[in-house]
Structure 1
Amino acid sequence: MVLAVRGAVQVDRDDPADILAATRELITEIVRRNGIDAADLISIVFTLTPDLTSCFPATAARDLGLVDVPLLCATEVAVPGALPRVIRLLAHVESDRPRAAVRHVYLRGATRLRPDLAA
């Protein structure tokens, strides 16, 4: 069965080092909390708020060794008043786990996006 795992992290500024470190942290935490093996990853879609333009978060996934996983980066919709400087992730995973067992991950300031899921 294919499951979707969501996550997000907020960074302090539009800096490649910050974006890549936060993205690595997010991916690592999603994998850890969900017991995901890299071979089970089907694809990952990343979005960034329009104020983040200095690098592609997919680079962080490649840095972690996800070289054969299809990755896509896009800009998030520019909604007035939305939380700034956020990297979002949607991972498609092959798993036998029930959907209710999925642990979505929201880190740093992004916990405000889904306080019901932030833990």
Structure 2
Amino acid sequence: MLRGIRGATTVERNEELEITQATEELLREMIKANDVKASDVAFVLISATDDLTAAFPAKALRNIEGWTYVPVMCMREIPVPHSLPRCIRVMMTVNTTKRQEEIRHIYLRESVQLRPDLSLTGKEKL
């Protein structure tokens, strides 16, 4: 079954290192919480708000061993007035036998406010 795993995080500054580190932290949490293997991933979509221009967040995926061939794409988040600033969102599409309610969506830092009903990290939900 094909399932989507959602995740989001925020950064304090529009700096390359901060963007890639925060994105890598988020991706690793999503992978760990859902026991994801790179070979089971169809693709990963990563969006960033308009105020993040210093780096492609998708670059972070290349820091994770074994994920070289996973298709990944960055895009702009819709610039809705009063939306959460400096936010990076991830949609990881995976083949899994898990039921929808077993998927652990990860929201870190200020992104917790996006989905308070799903905002516990993988460690707290497991």
Q: Into which bin does the TM-score normalised by the smaller protein fall?
A: over 0.9
Larger mean Cα displacement after TM superposition, 62-71 or 8-17: 62-71
CA distance in 2, matches of 1:92, 1:78: 24
Q: Which residue of 1 aligns with 2:26?
A: 26
Q: Which residue of 2 aligns with 1:62?
A: 62
Q: CA deviation at 1:42?
A: 1.1
Q: Which residue of 2 aligns with 1:99?
A: 100
Report the residue type matching 2:60 in the other structure: A
4+ residue runs of structure 1 moved beyond 6 angstroms?
none
Alignment of 1:1-119 (within 5 A): 1-65=1-65, 66-119=67-120
* Count of matched residue positions in the alignment of Structure 1 and Structure 2: 119
Q: CA deviation at 1:6?
A: 0.4
Alignment RMSD: 0.7
Unaligned runs of 5+ in 2: 121-126
Unaligned runs of 5+ in 1: none
Q: TM-score, normalised by structure 1?
A: 0.98
CA distance in 2, matches of 1:87, 1:96: 27
- Give % identity: 39
Report the residue type matching 2:49 in the other structure: T
